[in-house]
Amino acid sequence: MTSPYAPHTDAETEAMLEAVGADDLESLFDVPESVAFDGEFGIPAHGEREARREAAKLLRRNDDLTEFLGRGHYTHYVPSVVDDLASRSEFLTSYTQYQPEVAQGFLQALFEYQSMLVELTGLDVANCSMYDEATALGEAATLSQRVRSVSGETILVPDHLRDGKRGVLANYADGPGLTVESYPMADGQADIAALAERMDGDVALVYAETPTVRGVVEERLADIGELADDHDALFCLGSDPVALALLERPADVGADVVVGDAASLGTGTAYGFGLGMFVTREEYLRQVPGRLVGASEDSDGRRAYTLTLQTREQHIRKERATSNICTNQAWVALRTAMHAAWLGPDGLVDLAEDCVTRPRDLAERLDEVVGVQAPVHDGHHFREFVAHTDQPARAVVEDLAAEGYAVHEIGEHLIQVATTEVTAEAEDGLVGAIAEVAK
Amino acid sequence: MTTYQQASWTDDDERYEPLLSEKANERVDIEDSPLPEDLTRESLELPAPAEPELARHYTRLSQMNYGVESGPFPLGSCTMKYNPSFTEDIAALPAAAVHPDRPDRTVQGTLGLSHRLQDYLGRIGGMDAVTLQPPAGAAGEFTGIQIAKAYHEHNGDERSEVVIPDSAHGTNFATAAMAGYDVVELPSGEDGRVDIDALEAAVSEETAALMLTNPNTLGLFERDIERIADVVHDAGGLLYYDGANLNALLGRARPGDMGFDVMHYNVHKTFATPHGGGGPGAGPVGVTEELAPFLPDPHVRQSDGGYEYYTPDHSIGKVHGYYGNWPVLVKAMAYITRLGDSGLADASAKAVLNANYLAERIPYEVPFGPSHHEFVASAGEQDAADVAKGMLDHGVHPPTTKWPETVSEALMTEPTEGESRRSLDQLAAAFEAVHGEDDGTLAAAPNRTAAGRIDQVRAARTPRLSWQALDSDE
């Protein structure tokens, strides 16, 4: 089979070969015999319909479960208009905006995305994306080493942290020789006294999350910011755009960098596919990793947009670049901006408030169930909470899967339940199923 | 010749399509929220367009943006080929949209698809094991270099340098530095390829790896690849393959057979996943059997009647918070399934044919050859950046300019297999037209695009990176 996406007719191929003076296609390859591949991959070709069937057949083996899952990857309802507009080929099939005169549309959309993050965080500079929350945290750690006022080499992270995030951070910390250490939690929130005890001149960055991976709203962020400031360390805060619509502004609690997964708006559950937010203070502008869109003027004197401050980047600065990132998550950012605009500030705040009341109400209902105590942590929750089960958590989770529900197992007798408007209608069923299996 | 005028929505003398914030900003105060007041912000000000306004805004923006479906996009080294629509439908299947924390046995479909893609990529690259976790090519490089580092350290062998040709992608240099290595830059030989003498001088017991593309950035196959591999391996180093140019070789040669130990695949460049205006990509990494124990955590393998995740013995750990850019991987899998052996081989053949045909037809000198998937022409006395702006007026996207630096005023051109002969002729006509322009005309270009020439100096000198910054400025 020839490639269906190469338009050449046989006659055209012949004419083109003649034009370049080649006998056949194979003679165009200047590959020495000794390394030439004369075998086969053994991958059969398919018609388009058959290729779709083949993929659907593979994926059909996924169990159909109603997911009450979160811990960093969330689903909110994404309006149809986001899919519709983001799928326009001028957006979807374009490249990085190296020729801004023909890429004003995407540049403006990214400029708007950056601006939304500036409003949500109260900080000055947002880049137009990192891969995900974990790699954004890794970049924040390396940023601390380029900031002159910071001298330490230790990165402090909360004890309640996703393993995946900790793992990625460890790889980013490896090159510059940073040490990653955990500080303890007290009832699901940062243990401020213990953190204060640990702080010294070797700390380069303190990381905290709100909500935490267990869904708890951190109540003493300003104290963490102050501790970091007192020791000339950066304060990096992890959150997401929905939570930021309601919770304290990072700028007001002394955050120097905000990271997080912004795909919680615009992209539903997609097996961990994310969008790394990276927002920081103006003073660190020239140390920011990744792409930045700025406003300028064109030859007609009208405002126009372009990628800017590219001397920070790998294609100019090579080994002295702020990061090796090239391809980012621009199209995911486009979707996030569309979704945020569709909601508007009212809709976004309503959604965030629902993320507070919904898990609270569900936890209350589960607390009534025999064999379950919920929530385990005092304090306010966002989207999710941890519950204690008298039965082993593993058995509870497995029995729930048999009933068609997925929740997290996070300890011997601890499960975690996340709920948003997307699972609203399934909550009754979940409560009933847990009542059956948790006795 | 094709003529072209990009749509341009203009609001007044000051601006084009207004910002969302200029159209419909709204401030809401946070009152009576379910949280205590000291835990909430005071207010939030964001755009609040009604859906019809939103649809019109983004449709207008899309019209002021150029994609592969708009016209030829011969950006060298970026492989802007056509992105088949059906792959979008596969990535959007509800069964593909599961949460990453589901237990293995409840997501056998996802693991099965991942396993098959790992297997296919291994066959295509001649590699023994493949991880899908790196979310982009540069992340793949970082993964590969971290694997090399872990391998050396496991052998009690501390090495401090990575050798990289001067014509390599900037990401290679930045990646090596990120992993804590010193970069040794390798000057190209007179024929544009690796100079073996220079390589021997650069390689030592400090060499952790040599990073190389093949065909290289000039589109030339490194004919001495086996000797290059020997020099590096004899010094105890590893050979890293940057997969940026793999679209030139499908079915003709495999990195694994050339002696490479570790490689990344750019699924956008080779397997037609859309680039989305800058991303998302995916950068799977393939390794030899010897390096497989160092792959990221977790990795998929077959188990009794199904698939499971496991942690490789000496895993470098995580390079993405979850499993990488899953929807992008699904699209790559769909493309490979559609084309199979024969289609993939044909795609490479047509990509190479197109580059050779175009190189033959343009008026600019191409100092190095024979070309494969791309060629680097020289704009000669003209400014390559101006040449690019001039081409914009002819309804084509210009080549990559001023890089690699080994060719003066470089026009790095990669038409891909997706262009027909007619479209290549139009591209050649655009080169021809610009070649005949005087410097003044080119300096004033473009004139038929959504915006005129944009002032880069002003953008960098007074950075205004948000609408908030515009307000305080104006």
pLDDT of residue B473: 53
Contact (Cβ atoms closer than 8 angstroms) between residue A161 and residue A213: yes
Q: Is A172 on the interface with B (CB under 8 A)?
A: yes
Q: Range of A366's domain?
A: 66-77+344-437
Among A308, A337, A366, the domain boundary falls at A337
Residues contacting B213, CB < 8 A, separation 6+: B168, B169, B241, B242, B243, B244, B245
pLDDT of residue A293: 98
ipTM exceeding 0.85?
yes
Token pair in block for residue A56:
């659907």
Whether residues A352 and A216 fall in one domain:
no
Average pLDDT, integer, range B59-69: 98
Whether residues A382 and A325 fall in one domain:
no
| Category of B339 on φ-ψ map: left (φ > 0), alpha (ψ -120 to 50) or beta | alpha
Whether residues A129 and A152 fall in one domain:
yes
Measure B405 CA to nearest chain A CA, in Å: 11
Measured distance CA(A359)–CA(B455) in Å, rounded: 50
Parse chain B into domains and list their residue ranges.
Answer: 86-338
A336, A340, A342, A346: CA torsion to nearest 10: 160
Choose from A108, A114, A320, A382 for mutation: most chain B CBs within 10 A.
A108
Contact (Cβ atoms closer than 8 angstroms) between residue A46 and residue B268: no
Token pair in block for residue B162:
């990575």
**Residue B302: strand, helix, or coil:** strand
Contact map slice: B 390-409 vs A, CB within 8 A: 392, 397-398, 400, 403
Measure B190 CA to nearest chain A CA, in Å: 18
B23 φ, ψ to 5°? Answer: -90, -45
**CB pair distance less than 8 Å for A6 and B418:** yes
**pLDDT tens for residues B341-394?**
999 999 999 999 999 999 999 999 999 999 999 999 999 999 999 999 999 999
Measured distance CA(B377)–CA(B426) in Å, rounded: 17
Query: Does pLDDT of B471 surpass 80?
Result: no
Whether residues A85 and A205 fall in one domain:
yes
Chain A residues in contact with B10 by the CB 8 A cut-off are 302
Radius of gyration of chain B (CA): 25
Average pLDDT, integer, range B246-267: 98
Whether residues A364 and A389 fall in one domain:
yes
Among A311, A337, A363, the domain boundary falls at A337
Whether residues A154 and A299 fall in one domain:
yes
Q: Looking at residue A151, which CATH number applies to its domain?
A: 3.40.640.10
Q: Is B368 on the interface with A (CB under 8 A)?
A: no
Measure B119 CA to nearest chain A CA, in Å: 10
Q: If you write DSSP's letter for every residue of B100-152 in order, what string do you get?
A: TTS-GGGBHHHHHHHHHHHHHHHHHHT-SEEE---SSHHHHHHHHHHHHHHHH
**Residue B207: strand, helix, or coil:** strand
Whether residues A222 and A95 fall in one domain:
yes
Angle subtended at Cα A280 by Cα A278 and Cα A283, rounded to the nearest 5 degrees: 145
Chain A residues in contact with B166 by the CB 8 A cut-off are none
- Segments in chain A below pLDDT 70: none
Q: Is A226 on the interface with B (CB under 8 A)?
A: no
Give the closest of A19, A61, A346 to B28, CB-based.
A346
Helix axes A330-367, A427-437, angle to 10 degrees: 50
Chain A residues in contact with B281 by the CB 8 A cut-off are 327
Whether residues A254 and A181 fall in one domain:
yes
Which residues are registered as beta bridge partners of B131? B285
pLDDT of residue B3: 81
pLDDT of residue B272: 98
Measure B249 CA to nearest chain A CA, in Å: 8
- By C-alpha distance, the chain B residue nearest A243 is B40
Contact map slice: B 189-218 vs A, CB within 8 A: none
**CB pair distance less than 8 Å for A273 and B88:** no
pLDDT of residue A228: 98
**CB pair distance less than 8 Å for B15 and A302:** yes
B346 φ, ψ to 5°? Answer: -70, -40
Q: Is residue A4 assigned to a domain? A: no
Give the closest of B24, B39, B101 to A69, CB-based.
B101
Q: Is residue A90 assigned to a domain? A: yes
pLDDT of residue B472: 64
Q: Mean pLDDT score of chain B, rounded to an integer?
A: 96
Measured distance CA(A59)–CA(B150) in Å, rounded: 34
**pLDDT tens for residues A150-163?**
899 999 999 999 99
Nearest to A344 by CA among B18, B20, B296, B179: B20
Nearest to A432 by CA among A366, A383, A358: A366
Chain A residues in contact with B275 by the CB 8 A cut-off are 93-96, 327
Nearest to A116 by CA among B25, B315, B221: B25
Q: Is A118 on the interface with B (CB under 8 A)?
A: yes
Whether residues A311 and A412 fall in one domain:
no
**pLDDT tens for residues B420-452?**
999 999 999 999 999 999 999 999 999 999 999
pLDDT of residue B2: 77
Nearest to A216 by CA among A79, A329, A70: A70
**CB pair distance less than 8 Å for B320 and A291:** no
- By C-alpha distance, the chain A residue nearest B443 is A299
Whether residues A87 and A47 fall in one domain:
no
Chain B residues in contact with A285 by the CB 8 A cut-off are 463
Query: Does pLDDT of B474 surpass 70?
Result: no
Measure B152 CA to nearest chain A CA, in Å: 15
Query: Does pLDDT of B399 surpass 60?
Result: yes
Q: Is B362 on the interface with A (CB under 8 A)?
A: no
Q: Is B472 on the interface with A (CB under 8 A)?
A: no
Chain A residues in contact with B71 by the CB 8 A cut-off are none
Q: Is residue A35 assigned to a domain? A: yes
A81 alpha carbon, distance to own chain's centre: 22
**CB pair distance less than 8 Å for B226 and A249:** no
Whether residues A96 and A27 fall in one domain:
no
Whether residues A406 and A360 fall in one domain:
yes
Measured distance CA(A128)–CA(A307) in Å, rounded: 10
Domain B86-338 has CATH 3.40.640.10: yes
The structural domain count of chain A equals 3
**CB pair distance less than 8 Å for B46 and A340:** yes
